[in-house]
Amino acid sequence: MDQHTFQFTYEMYPSIDALAEADANLLRLAIQNTKNAYAPYSHFQVGAMALMANGKMVSGTNQENASYPIGICAERVLLSAASSLYPEVAIESIAISYHNAKGKSDRPITPCGICRQSLVEYEARFKHPIRLILAGEEGRVMVIPKADRLLPFGFSAEDMK
């Protein structure tokens, strides 16, 4: 038997004020964008904002539905919009925040499994890392240098060869 270890490094900041200006601005836009989410069932509004390699910005919010399996997360809304608006342009960074109407919004949260897989696919498509800036409306901020760090054994096109 061989034993293997997977580790990665990420940055943790005490607040949005400790971020570089560009990252703080992107995160502020994501926080503002939570107001555009459609979350009448969970009351958990997620906003995402991407900085594209061409300097443009693209946003996404979660969109719930009474038929629960057909809702879509903010990250996948954002990836779909980015791919539709700028099909040949990589994403540099994505800031993700949330407003929890039933509780606190004071710590970073990470994308769900489906979104992690979608982010890994987008990185592979463009052969370009996507930095993730994760935070609530206040509190600590987590910066992950590559989205694929969240899904170390993701399914890829290589698995279908």
**Other CB atoms within 10 Å distance of the CB of residue 32:** 13
- pLDDT digit string (tens) for 38-50? 999 999 999 999 9
pTM of the model: 0.96
CATH architecture for segment(s) 11-148: 3-Layer(aba) Sandwich (3.40)
- pLDDT digit string (tens) for 100-149? 999 999 999 999 999 999 999 999 999 999 999 999 999 999 999 999 99
Q: Which of 75, 88, 138, 158 is catalytic?
A: 75
How many helices and strands (H and E) does the chain possess?
A: 3, 6
Query: C-alpha angle with apex 14: 8 to 15, nearest 5 degrees?
Result: 115
- pLDDT digit string (tens) for 65-105? 999 889 999 999 999 999 999 999 999 999 999 999 999 99
Q: What is the DSSP letter of 15?
A: S
- The rounded distance, in Å, linking the Cα atoms of 56 and 140 is 26
Q: Which amino acid is at 146?
A: K
For the chain, give every domain's residue range.
Answer: 11-148
Whether 75 is catalytic: yes
Checking if the pLDDT of 154 tops 90, the result is: no
- The rounded distance, in Å, linking the Cα atoms of 83 and 17 is 31
Tokens of 29: 């836009």
How much is the pLDDT for 157? 84
Nearest 10 degrees: Cα torsion 56, 45, 149, 85: -30
**Chain position carrying tokens 């992950």:** 144
